[in-house]
Chains A and B, each alone.
Chain A
Amino acid sequence: MLKIENLHVRVEDKPILKGISLHIKPGEVHAIMGPNGSGKSTLSHVLAGRDGYEVTAGTVIYKGKNLLDMPPEERAREGVFLAFQYPVEIPGVSNVYLLKAALNAVRKHRGLPELDAFDFLQMIKAKTKLVEMDEKFLYRAVNEGFSGGEKKRNEILQMAVLEPSLCILDETDSGLDIDALKIVSDGVNSLRSADRSFILVTHYQRLLDYIKPDQVHVLAQGRIVKTGDASLALELEERGYGWIDQTMGEAA
């Protein structure tokens, strides 16, 4: 699904990612944890194709293609989806309009016809149920005036509608109350399939109680400093990142 090799990224001449390598197979869930400012969102943005990031070395191969060559809209149509850490408010554009425009763009790319109004509405209603969102949110402007938790749920709604292959969730669990966390996790779990992979960026082990990761990576200062199974997250929860720093020190 995704092969990142030795990825180096700068922002405004400041090196942020310093040699990331990550292999994700279809159907796998990878969690990325790490201290604030370590480069987790930077990695997510680079994968989604945001500009302002300069890739100075390394490659990213997605489904056999060079991901870094594609403009962001093409990545989205090819099945890359980023749930933003800070979803953007778009006054004046309704949720339902964005969902239609996005879905049609993606379907067109896949050689599928536009859904007719009836089928679209049926589908969209089913998906709002999945994330337990009130239908009236569909007709509100994208994220405008949404609470933090509502914005995160809206990201998952978009993901459920677009049915991507690679889902990158950047701290989708932050700011969610316990019930919302459960709803979002259930939503993600229902989307899990043998040909869909996930990158979960998170600070909290709690999310991983709900969504079982295949691997957990620790990102610190732009490098993956440790990789393990789900138990690594538990260990981090208990001992913090200081412990990693120590082992890094020993290794160096």
Chain B
Amino acid sequence: MSATSYIERYQSIADELPGYNLPWLNAVRQLALGSFESTGFPSPREEEWKYTNVTALEKKLFAPSSISTSSTIDKEWLETHKLADTWTLVLVDGYFDPKLSDLVGLTDKVIATGIAEALQSHPHRVKALLGTTLEKESHGFLAFNTAYFSDGAFIDIPADVILKKPLQILHISTRNEALANTRSLVGLGRNAEAKLIETFIGLPNISYLTAAVTEIHLTENAALDHYKLQVETDKAYHFGGVYVKQDKTSRFYQHNLSFGGLLARNEIHAELATAAECEMNGLFLAKNRQHVDNHTLIHHVEPHGISRETYRGVLADRARGVFQGRIVVHPQAQKTSAEMNNRNLLLSEDAEIDAKPQLEILADDVKCSHGVAVGQLDSESIFYLVSRGVDRETAKNMLTFAFANEMVEKIGLESLRTKVQDHLLNIFPQTGIRRDWL
């Protein structure tokens, strides 16, 4: 496989990677490298990658950045992507940038910094979190990420701490043909509560690859609202995986908003212990030749878990969408309640969606349901609007916007909700939806 070109390129920076001097981390990286060497990036022959072909990556060579090569960031541009009233961790081209970050007022009980920094200051905490959510995972991207991650965010919230403000991780790409390869770790102690937004952006018009892996460990009764807003440039490649280990009675509420990128793959996986609760909401929009793939996986491994999953997709032009949603209810996971729903709207005859729900139920006393629908706009609804004097085009646009906006309305965080609505209005400017009327 032509993963070799990546290996050659990245081996040359291996001794600049964080934790190079730590034997345990070196061992982890070596193991991952071995696996990446043998598999390369995922291939469509793998069942879980059937609908998304990333071989284009191997033909290109997205090169690593180093801290010194990252460009200066236009502060004004950055501000438009920062959320008001949050603490921010900024990652530029794969490196934590403390100067652009803002953690003023964050309690010193919480560790919030870059991984490289945390490996110096709190190596044991990093060791405790790294890889804990990836035991059941394996594919080329993850192996590559583990072998070569350059930095990432490290957030460790101890027991009983309830964060007053949300935390935002801003993943920024500034260089053409470059790769930002990050591993972020998030740990919440017993009863801790937080809100975390991960935003992915790039400077206008550049082509780059993001490979971002976030591992989240929620200890007993912890609660995290996690939002992922992927608005990469339309020439970008994005692989973003969020892997969550939920201890008993923990709660994880996730919103996956995937609007950007030429090719995007979002993985959101969670494993639920006793009476843990998990909500996954997704909205993906694609137009032109965009390809967006959402891969979700929920393991119910212990009893009384609850999962609710709602995904909506809107595909225009020649765009292609994928929803693979898998729920596994393990034999011990009695009294599990799991719901999955996916609805997709195709706005053109050339748009395509592969929607594949998979329920594997190995326990007998469970409540599970799933539904998938693919369709065009409802003609009765169009007629109703048109019969009120609205023209046909506007009627269709109103219905399209409404379909997407219903998912946006689920976002509890108002500052983010408004931002997401702005993106929505920008993506479909022809909808002529009036901001002042919403």
A residues engaging B (CB < 8 A)? 48-51, 71-73, 75-77, 81-82, 84, 87-88, 90-94, 96-98, 100-103, 105-106, 109, 117, 141-142, 158, 162
Contact = CB atoms under 8 A, between A and B. Distances in A.
Contacts of A100: 434, 437
Given A50-B383, A87-B384, A101-B390, A93 B399 contact: yes
Contact of B385 (A48, A90, A94, A96): A90
Interface string B380-421: 110111111111101000110111011001000000000000
Interface string B216-255: 0000000000000000000000000000000000000000
Nearest to B404: A92
Contacts of B409: 92
Contacts of A94: 438
A105 B393 CA distance: 13
B380 A105 contact: no
The 9 residue pairs across chains A and B that have the minimum distance between CB atoms: A92-B402, A76-B389, A102-B388, A88-B384, A105-B389, A92-B406, A106-B389, A93-B402, A102-B389
A98 B385 contact: yes
| Residue in A87, A90, A117, A162 with the greatest tally of chain B CB atoms within 10 Å | A90
B424 to A, nearest CB: 12
Contacts of A103: 389
A73 B399 contact: no
Contacts of B390: 73, 98, 101-102, 105
A158 B389 CA distance: 11
Contacts of B436: 117
Given A92-B405, A97-B438, A84 B389 contact: no
A162 B389 contact: yes
B387 A49 contact: yes
Contacts of A106: 389
Contact of A91 (B389, B392, B402): B402
| Residue in A49, A75, A105 with the greatest tally of chain B CB atoms within 10 Å | A105
Contacts of B386: 49, 71-73, 76
A90 to B, nearest CB: 5
8 contacts: A50-B383, A73-B386, A73-B389, A81-B387, A100-B437, A102-B388, A102-B390, A106-B389
Query: What bracket does the count of chain B residues touching chain A fall in?
Result: 20 to 34
A81 B401 CA distance: 25
| Residue in B391, B392, B394 with the greatest tally of chain A CB atoms within 10 Å | B391
Contacts of A102: 385, 388-390
Interface of B: 380-381, 383-392, 394, 398-399, 401-403, 405-406, 409, 434, 436-438
A91 B378 CA distance: 12
Contacts of B438: 94, 97
A105 B390 CA distance: 6
Contact of A98 (B383, B388, B434): B388
B391 A91 contact: no
Contacts of B389: 73, 76-77, 102-103, 105-106, 109, 162
Nearest to B438: A97
A158 B394 CA distance: 18
Given A77-B389, A162-B389, A90 B384 contact: yes
Nearest to B407: A92
B303 to A, nearest CB: 34
A77 B392 CA distance: 13
A49 B389 CA distance: 12
A91 to B, nearest CB: 6
Nearest to A78: B389
B401 A105 contact: no
Contacts of A77: 389
Contact of A88 (B380, B394, B401): B380
B388 A158 contact: yes
B387 A72 contact: yes
Given A73-B390, A84-B384, 4 more contacts: A92-B409, A102-B389, A105-B390, A106-B389
Contacts of B398: 93, 97-98, 101
